[in-house]
Structure formats: C-alpha cells, structure tokens
C-alpha cells in the first residue's frame, strides 16, 4: 500500500491538478509522507515543494480517504490517498518535479490517476466539480 496525502483545491468548479516532468497523467498535488511525519506535516511540506505556496495550518480540514490501484505500478499495488482542503499564502507555480499546474473539470477525468478518478466522482456527486 502506498500512503499518500493530497490537497483538494476547487475554483470555479475545477480542481487543481499537477503533472510531473516526463509524465502524461495528472495527479492531485501532494505526495508521500516521510518517516515520522503526520498528515499535516507531510501535506504542508509536499505542497510547499511542489507548488511554492504555504498552507495555513489552522485552515486544514480532512476531506476524505480514497484507495485504488496505483498508477504505473504492478497490479495489486494500491495507493491510499488521504485528502484535505486548506487555504494557503502565495502564488501557485510548478516547482521541484512538477512540470505543469492545471485546473481540471470532470470531463478531464480520463487524464488522471485511478485514485483521482474516484475523487473526481465524489466531488461531482457533491456538486463541487463541473
């Protein structure tokens, strides 16, 4: 099981997503925790590394937990994604291994990882994603 954390940021019915260098699939921003990190610590670190913004810790809210086959891994390797919403300071821009930052709609679902597809469905059902 791959343990990951992700930020859910919605604007005008679209969700913030990223694409790593050399990849063709989009992922919600976030990543794996380092040894000893809490969800909050890992989320703050990953978002700062990927998007150059600073999450406001007191604004962080748990959104949900989702699991699916891990993208680009052998069958049976699963990813468990703990998702949070949060406010942040700064201007979103690609950094580190991120090549592109985009705002995706529900119609972009075929372009995202398997776990993100489940999250897209959840957001659509709740009327948050266009």
pLDDT of residue 110: 96
Asked whether residue 71 carries a pLDDT value surpassing 90, the answer given is: no
Asked whether residue 90 carries a pLDDT value surpassing 90, the answer given is: yes
What structural domains does the chain harbor? Answer: 2-125 (3.90.79.10)
d(CA 63, CA 39): 12
Regarding pTM above 0.75, the answer is yes
- pLDDT > 70 in the chain, percent: 100
For 26-65, b/e burial (b = at least 16 CB within 10 A) is bbbbbbebeeeeeeeebbbbbbbebbbbebeeeebeebee
d(CA 45, CA 113): 22
């Amino acid at each position: 099981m791959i343990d990951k954390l992700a930020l859910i940021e919605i604007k005008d019915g679209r969700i913030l997503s990223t694409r790593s260098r050399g990849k063709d699939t989009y992922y919600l921003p976030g990543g794996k925790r380092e040894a000893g990190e809490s969800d909050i610590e890992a989320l703050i670190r990953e978002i700062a590394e990927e998007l150059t913004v600073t999450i406001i810790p007191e604004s962080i809210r748990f959104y949900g937990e989702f699991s699916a086959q891990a993208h680009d891994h052998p069958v049976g390797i699963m990813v468990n994604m703990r998702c949070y919403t949060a406010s942040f300071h700064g201007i979103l821009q690609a950094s580190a291994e991120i090549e592109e930052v985009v705002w995706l709609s529900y119609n972009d679902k075929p372009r995202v990882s398997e776990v993100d597809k489940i999250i897209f469905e959840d957001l659509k059902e709740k009327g948050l994603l266009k």
